[in-house]
Amino acid sequence: MLILAATPIGNIGDASERLKITLASAKVIAAEDTRTLLKLANHLGIKLAAELISLHEHNELQKLDRLVEIAKTADLVLVSDAGMPTISDPGFALVRACAEAGVEVQVVPGPSAVISALAVSGLSTDRFCFEGFLPRKSGERTRLFQSLISETRTMVFFESPHRIVDSLDDAAKVFGPNRKASVSRELTKKFEETKRGTLPELKDWAKDQKGEMVLVISGAEPVVFNLEDLVAKVIALKSEGTGLKQACSSVAKQYGASSSELYALALKRD
């Protein structure tokens, strides 16, 4: 089988007994960085007897066939540098390939930066979405934020300390200066800290901060709309030269309405 084993995200004390047993008894371990795995094993007092295979974003596809064959006849353990494999880390393609080949996939759960940051954010946790690492360039970040402007779920992002200020600035421009958010840094480590406030407030705080960051942004308030009013907006856009389908899609995205429903109503009005 394939075993996805979560490792600590900072505090070595978060390593579970099940993780220790899994690593100590493993015959084959695929690791994002074998040197990081060896350091972890040393800290945990484990002498690894397993064959170690490097598996990262640049070689995952090339090694799939070999790893799937291994998992067919032996337990293959997969670990990333920190946290759960496949979550913004290598492993997704391997899980899919094993599942398609009929290989059982099990999980050894553990710490998660996404869930930890969400839990301490003070923002709604009923519904949320994880958007992974933010783009490096401002224009790409802005486009991503704009695509989420109507998202009502709490949003979670990974960001580096070198770009967190710029990302908060871009977010404030798109979501507005009053949007609530939080930034957690160095989760589970000695200097763990979470700052909560509006996006501009967090930007001022983040200027001198270091460590890996998790940005959590509250979702948009649900928009209460009248369909007839939205159809009027569609018709107005159409009169300005916008195609009917494009006008319906634009208005629907802005207000969280059904594009097909607006289209049907607009056809009757037109």
- DSSP for 241-258, written as a single string: T--HHHHHHHHHHHHT--
**Rounded mean pLDDT, 259-270:** 88
In whole angstroms, give the CA distance from residue 111 to residue 38: 19
Q: Report whether 151 contacts 129 (CB < 8 A).
A: yes
Sketch out the chain's domains with CATH numbers: 2-108 (3.40.1010.10), 113-217 (3.30.950.10), 227-269 (no CATH)
Q: In what order do the strands lie in the sheet with 28-31?
A: 51-54, 28-31, 76-79, 2-5, 105-108
pLDDT beyond 80 at 224: no
Res 270: pLDDT: 66
pLDDT beyond 80 at 222: no
Q: Name the token pair of 72.
A: 């067919």
**Rounded mean pLDDT, 149-170:** 95
Res 120: pLDDT: 98
Q: Report whether 211 contacts 161 (CB < 8 A).
A: yes
Q: Report whether 16 contacts 108 (CB < 8 A).
A: yes
Give tens-digit pLDDT for 63-120.
999 999 999 999 999 999 999 999 999 999 999 999 999 999 999 999 999 999 999 9
H or E element that contains 236:
helix 227-239
| pLDDT-based confidence at residue 57 (cuts at 50, 70, 90) | confident
In whole angstroms, give the CA distance from residue 260 to residue 246: 11
Whole-model pTM: value is: 0.81
**Rounded mean pLDDT, 1-20:** 97
DSSP label at residue 83: B
pLDDT beyond 90 at 11: yes
pLDDT beyond 80 at 5: yes
Q: Is the dihedral of CA 185, 106, 97, 62 positive or negative?
A: positive
Mean residue pLDDT across the chain? 94
Strands 128-133 and 154-159, by their bridges, are parallel
Share of the chain above pLDDT 70, in %: 99
In whole angstroms, give the CA distance from residue 135 to residue 159: 9
